[in-house]
Amino acid sequence: MNAALASLADRWLGTDPKQRVRLARCGLACALMLYSIASMGYFVWAGMAPGWPVAGLALVAVAGMAGFFVVIRSGANLRFADPSLTMPQMVFALAVGAVAYTLAGRGRGAVFPIMMVVLMFGLYSLSPRQVRWMSLAALALFGGAMALMAMVSPRIYRPEVEFAHFLVIAIMLPAVSMLAGQLSRLRDRLRRQKAELQEALARIQDLALRDELTGLANRRHMQGLIDLERERCVRTGGSFCLAVIDIDRFKRINDTHGHPAGDAVLRDFAREALSCLRGGDVLARWGGEEFLLMLPDTRLTLARLGVERLRTRAAALTVLHESTPLAFTLSAGVVEHLAGESVVDSIARADRALYQAKQQGRNKVVSG
């Protein structure tokens, strides 16, 4: 049952969330129009309104609202600045309301609440300026209808009563405009708060996944990525390699030039490394001056060549910190993850290979 209702809703409203909201609002406007037509039908039944003119107005009203629904459902509305077509719908509804006022006779007082509902309908999507224009349009349309009927049918539309009606709506419409201004300011404040919250959330998510100093993936994020790559290799029978990379004699840089100099070396190395790695390779700051590189879908021979290229680039890099040139080298241990092996064991093998590189004089890449 629920699936059938969902399928029916998709057929009528489509699947685009924004378009569904627009169509739902248009459907609500159509329901309001049908209620107004039903009210006019009662006036005809009670002998207060002529039958054929009301029937013609009802036909125009239904056709107009159906036309708006079709335009939105077809997607043609997306070509306009306001895809909701709020102002055209409101102008149409006010025009129909003004004509209904001329036909309702003694029941014309029922048209005023409908007019106010139409204006309230636009408060949540129009700017204060647009609401003011709509209010002026309503005042002009209904004022013209009142003046016309006071001249054409003064026995039913007595001039003094019509003037009183005009004064009522002239007082009510500015209040609507003031309310629109309040709602607009509230919407703007909510939008700003939403944007600030989204920015803060993005910042928090970035801090949870990235190393703040280098901008690289942090240890936690890297562990998740390695687990995903391991699962992929289990499914496909592929392979990947890991490399533990350590900047040689990094403590000496900190002790000699200070921690800001060490930070500059880490940042510049990260930037240089990203420029020479493949698009699918992932480099993470593993801790301190130690980095972990994952090379997806790569055998050990190619992985070692890639890390060797990175070592050569690092050795040629000079970091300038406060006018002081800083040179450094790196050592690395590279391994290929073995089927059935845990990630922890693979990293431990890469660590042992790194230790061998250090033992062999540093500035070397050793595969394990």
Cα separation, 224 vs 152, whole angstroms: 80
User: Whose structure tokens read 């990379």?
Assistant: 245
User: Whose structure tokens read 């569904």?
Assistant: 20
C-alpha 315: how far from chain center: 44
**Is pLDDT at 133 greater than 90 in this prediction?**
no
What are the residues whose beta carbons fall under 8 Å from the beta carbon of 1, sequence distance 6 or more? none
- Give which of 268, 264, 336, 348 is closest to 307, Cα–Cα: 336
The pLDDT value given to residue 10: 65
Give the architecture (CATH level 2) of 219-367.
2-Layer Sandwich (3.30)
Helix (H) or strand (E) holding 366: strand 365-367
Boundaries of every domain in the chain = 2-203, 219-367
- CB distance 18 to 79 below 8 Å: no
Cα separation, 184 vs 190, whole angstroms: 10
268-313 confidence digits (pLDDT tens): 999 999 999 998 999 999 988 999 999 999 999 999 999 999 999 9
pLDDT band at 1 (very low <50, low <70, confident <90, very high): low
The pLDDT value given to residue 24: 84
**Is pLDDT at 55 greater than 80 in this prediction?**
yes
**Is pLDDT at 240 greater than 90 in this prediction?**
yes
Residues serving a catalytic function are 289
- CB distance 207 to 199 below 8 Å: no
Cα separation, 255 vs 248, whole angstroms: 14
Sign of CA dihedral 164, 170, 171, 173: positive
pLDDT band at 356 (very low <50, low <70, confident <90, very high): very high
Cα separation, 128 vs 183, whole angstroms: 9
User: Whose structure tokens read 């029937």?
Assistant: 55
Lowest mean pLDDT across 7-21, 65-79, 255-269: 7-21
Helix axes 17-45, 2-13, angle to 10 degrees: 90
pLDDT band at 73 (very low <50, low <70, confident <90, very high): confident
* Average pLDDT for the chain: 87
